[in-house]
Chain A
Amino acid sequence: MAEYHLNAPLSDGDARKLRAGDVVYLTGIIYTARDAAHKRLIDLLDAGKELPFPLKGAVIYYVGPAPAPEGRPIGSAGPTTSYRMDSYAPRLHSLGAKASIGKGKRDEAVKQALKDHGGVYFGATGGAGALISMRIEAARVVAFDDLGTEAIRELKVKEFPLLVINDACGGDLYVQPDLKAVGLE
């Protein structure tokens, strides 16, 4: 398991070299989007319209941040559970998005999309929102301001700590529950 310091947007080469279990410190520009924003992105695509941020190499962070206190660019900003975005993610990967950041399991379609398009799924530590927010240097809303916390924000991150959960080769870091140990299998 390797440690990398990478830039976002993520290059195809960087995304493809990562393996489940690698630790990545990401620096650069990433975009936030969760449930409601994803629905709107897909609606825009269906209508043949342009998206509010460039998908090429995009790293999409599944987060709805807490409001920024005085003197900080953003409030607590840890990951939300990713499976709710599973129905949207493959399409975004097919159009150039390279990575998503969240927590929890992805479905087979997302894992396949990572293989097909050279993508990666990063885990961030759920419930460590205060700590994670310290790696965010700037934040601005770029679309859907009416959604409040669910608006799309451009984040400038520095050495943002991530763990590769699913890679472009089918690797999966999550532990399978030991059903035998409790007599369920």
Chain B
Amino acid sequence: MRTLNTERIVDAVAAMCVHANRYLPEDVQKSFAHCAAGESGAAAKEIFRQLTENYKLAAESGLPLCQDTGLAVFFVEMGQDLRLEGLNIRDAINAGVRKGYEEGKLRKSVCDPFSRANTKDNTPAVIHFDVVPGDGLKIAFMAKGGGSENMSRVTMLVPAQGWEGIKKFVLQRVAEAGPNPCPPTVIGVGIGGTFDYAPILAKKALMRKLGDSNPDPKLDAMEKELLAEINKLGIGPMGLGGTTTSLDVKIAVSPCHIASLPLAVNVQCHSTRHEEVEL
């Protein structure tokens, strides 16, 4: 049985919140360069030029990449043989968010759904816990912007609709969202599970690196097929036209009820900010 003081969680979470909001991950930078090279239109090229200048400036200046520094979303995998001392783990993660968003001069974007009163410290975070074998602790963080989150949807297809129905729903969603979620986007697709579980699968799929391969060859082919279809829509960077409507598609699946085909589409803006730490 390993013991870990939750002070380390607070500090690690705070550091991740700040770092992720200032430094665009290398895989996203590479994806920008790759997709920009494929664009022929002036508007699309100009948007990629601005986004590239923006991430360089953010890294140099310490300003966040985007003013929407997100609602803090976490995926926590905690080993069942790990013992924590100090705070409750949920309190520790929220303390880290509070610290990181204050010290990093990040925007506080969390409010009461009715009064709309800002909580002023960007808490509470949304935290998904998983208990795993061993004594490790893995905490993955995503700064999830509201504009792209608003374009996300969940639906319950019937089994007869199958892959064709899934593709159609995703394409319709991306088409309808158009310029709103800050394209080029990343599309997380959760298939299966239940009404509540499909969106969690979709969100977790967004934690993967851009340009990686799905370990399941069949899903990998589906991701590539869907990405090619999405990019035929021609919406392009910022909706100004082009071949890059989305940078990538990530699919995660889980078995579902014999009556159901749950489907969630989680839209992520181009400012794809996520990191993880193992303690």
Chain A residues in the interface with B (C-beta under 8 A): 35-36, 39, 63-69, 72, 75-78, 80-81, 83, 103-105, 123, 125-131, 133-134, 147-150, 163, 173-175, 177-179, 181-182, 184
Contact = CB atoms under 8 A, between A and B. Distances in A.
B51 interface: yes
Interface stretch (B7-15, B174-182, B198-206): B174-182
A126 B116 contact: no
Interface string B43-54: 000010011011
B95 to A, nearest CB: 19
A127 B105 contact: no
A69 B57 contact: no
Interface string B144-174: 0011001000000000000000001001101
Contacts, number: 158
B109 A174 contact: no
Interface stretch (B63-71, B77-85, B213-221, B257-265): B63-71
Given A75-B63, A125-B50, 20 more contacts: A36-B111, A64-B109, A65-B67, A69-B63, A76-B63, A76-B64, A81-B150, A103-B182, A104-B178, A105-B180, A125-B47, A125-B54, A126-B269, A131-B50, A149-B118, A150-B118, A174-B178, A177-B174, A177-B175, A184-B168
Nearest to B101: A67
B108 A134 contact: no
B179 A131 contact: no
Given A103-B238, A130-B58, A77 B67 contact: yes
Interface of B: 47, 50-51, 53-54, 57-58, 61-69, 105-109, 111, 116, 118, 120, 146-147, 150, 168, 171-172, 174-175, 178-182, 229-230, 232-236, 238-241, 269-271
